[in-house]
């Protein structure tokens, strides 16, 4: 297990040990992953908890679990380790890519113009578009430098900017009765189950008024499973219009929703120093949205 710079008596190896325990759900498996003994991992975790003054891991049950403090600390530890590793990567010192995360649908219809224009103007800084099934598309964990997110984001330590809004659509089984409708209302979807992507999706039951919510819900963890469940007739879904454009599916029909509020598309970054190219990315994103909407004033983004 590698050592690292110290913060008081704490080193990067303490964070690596904690993250390995969190990922593996076992001190024994974490030790195997880190190629050290189990007592070493236990002592390292204990030292970290003593330094922080909180219990990070609950050892009182048969199945190891993170405490609420451990869950909150996990993202911070992951971001710190990622930043440390990135700073010591000699390849990134020469060509430091700008990593742009998204959970689904990226930048909608503006995705290709953004990537092409960036490559033309800033060939010295590769722009990497990464899909990460996470509510902040890996941003809070330090896996990306910025993220394109949809819907309100409550994660602390993030700075967000609304780039545009898009109309919402219902996603229904292509062979179902709702697929033949020219448009739908939220109430039309309450008779059966609604499929919710609880990991990275922006739709929750709060979209419906209290007392008029769907009869049942089916939860999934990513866009692929969401589409599969809808195509199989297990329920319907709600998403932004970009989903219809970026994720066509033979078994799914997208129908406009008349009464759903528009879905904001955000550019998010962590609060504090970040990749030096972030201001240029934000500027280009604004430029492309303004240009495309000017050239296509009748688009259906909202």
pLDDT score of 154: 82
**Which pLDDT belongs to residue 142?**
84
CATH number for the domain that contains residue 216: 3.40.190.10
* Residue 155 pLDDT: 82
Same domain, 83 and 113: no
pLDDT given for residue 1 in this prediction: 41
Tell me the three state secondary structure of residue 61: coil
User: How far apart, in whole angstroms, are the C-alpha atoms of residue 212 and residue 98?
Assistant: 44
CA 206 from chain center: how many Å? 20
Q: Is residue 147 part of a domain?
A: yes
Residue 98 belongs to some domain of the structure: yes
Domain co-membership, 156 together with 223: no
Q: Mark whether 285 and 231 lie in a shared domain.
A: no
CA distance 153 to 155: 6
pLDDT (tens digit per residue) in 177-227:
999 999 999 999 999 999 999 999 999 999 999 999 998 999 999 999 999
Domain contains 300: no
Clarify whether residues 184 and 230 are in a common domain: yes
CA geometry: angle 267, 273, 279, nearest 5 deg: 45
Q: Domain check: are 59 and 194 in the same one?
A: no
Whole-number Å distance between alpha carbons of 107 and 171:
19
Count of structural domains within the chain:
3
Same domain, 66 and 78: yes
pLDDT for residue 141 = 83
Q: b/e map of 286-295 (b: 16 or more CB within 10 Å)? A: eebbeebeee
pLDDT digits over 112-144, tens only? 999 999 999 999 999 999 999 988 999 988 889
Q: What is the residue-wise DSSP string for 172-192?
A: EETTSGGGG-S-B-GGGGTTS
Per-residue pLDDT reduced to its tens digit, 24-43: 888 988 899 888 999 999 99
Q: Is the pLDDT of residue 94 over 80?
A: no
258 neighbors 127 (Cβ within 8 angstroms):
no
Do 150 and 277 have their domain in common?
yes
**Domain's final residue, options 87, 118, 135:** 87
82: CATH: 1.10.10.10
Predicted pLDDT of residue 185:
97
H helix runs in the chain, sequence order: 12-24, 27-34, 38-52, 68-87, 90-94, 111-121, 223-231, 241-246, 278-295
Question: What would the pLDDT profile of 219-268 be if each residue is shown by its tens digit?
Answer: 999 999 999 999 999 999 999 999 999 999 999 999 999 999 999 999 99
DSSP reduced 3-state for 156: coil
Please check whether residues 150 and 192 belong to one and the same domain.
Answer: no
Residue 302 lies in a domain: no
Q: How confident is the model at residue 89 (pLDDT cuts 50, 70, 90)?
A: low
Could you tell me if residue 180 is inside a domain?
yes
User: Are 187 and 157 members of one domain?
Assistant: no
Pair (72, 123) in one structural domain: no
Q: Residue 1 domain-assigned? A: no
Range of the domain at 20: 6-87
Residue 161 belongs to a domain: yes
Banded model confidence at residue 7, pLDDT cuts 50, 70, 90 = very low
- Same domain? For 174 and 257 the reply is yes
pLDDT for 301: 57
Q: Which of 37, 61, 87 is the last residue of a domain?
A: 87
Pair 69, 179 in one domain: no
């Amino acid at each position: 297990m590698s050592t690292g710079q110290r913060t008081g008596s704490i080193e990067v190896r303490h964070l690596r040990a904690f993250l390995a325990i969190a990922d593996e759900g076992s001190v024994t498996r974490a030790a195997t992953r880190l190629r050290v003994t189990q007592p070493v991992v236990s002592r390292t975790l204990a030292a970290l908890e003593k330094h922080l003054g909180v219990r990070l891991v609950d050892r009182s049950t048969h199945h190891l679990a993170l405490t609420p403090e451990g869950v909150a600390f996990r993202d911070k530890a992951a971001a710190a380790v990622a930043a440390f590793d990135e700073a010591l990567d000699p390849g990134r010192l020469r060509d430091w890519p700008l990593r742009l995360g998204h959970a689904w649908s990226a930048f909608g219809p503006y995705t290709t113009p953004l990537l092409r224009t960036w490559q033309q103007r800033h060939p010295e800084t590769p722009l990497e578009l990464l899909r990460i099934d996470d509510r902040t598309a890996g941003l809070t964990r330090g896996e990306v430098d910025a993220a394109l997110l949809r819907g309100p984001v409550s994660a602390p330590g993030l700075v967000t900017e609304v780039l545009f809004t898009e109309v919402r659509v219902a996603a229904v089984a292509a062979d179902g009765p709702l697929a033949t409708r020219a448009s739908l209302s939220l109430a039309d979807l309450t008779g059966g189950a609604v499929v919710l992507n609880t990991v990275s999706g922006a739709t929750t039951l709060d979209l419906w008024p209290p007392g008029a919510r769907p009869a049942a819900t089916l939860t999934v963890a990513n866009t692929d499973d969401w589409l599969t469940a809808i195509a199989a007739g297990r329920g319907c879904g709600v998403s932004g219009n970009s989903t219809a454009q970026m994720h066509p599916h033979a078994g799914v029909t997208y129908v406009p929703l008349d009464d759903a509020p528009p879905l904001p598309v955000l550019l998010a970054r962590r609060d504090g120093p970040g990749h030096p190219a972030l201001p240029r990315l934000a500027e280009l994103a604004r430029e492309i949205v303004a240009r495309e909407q000017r050239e296509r004033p009748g688009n259906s983004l909202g």
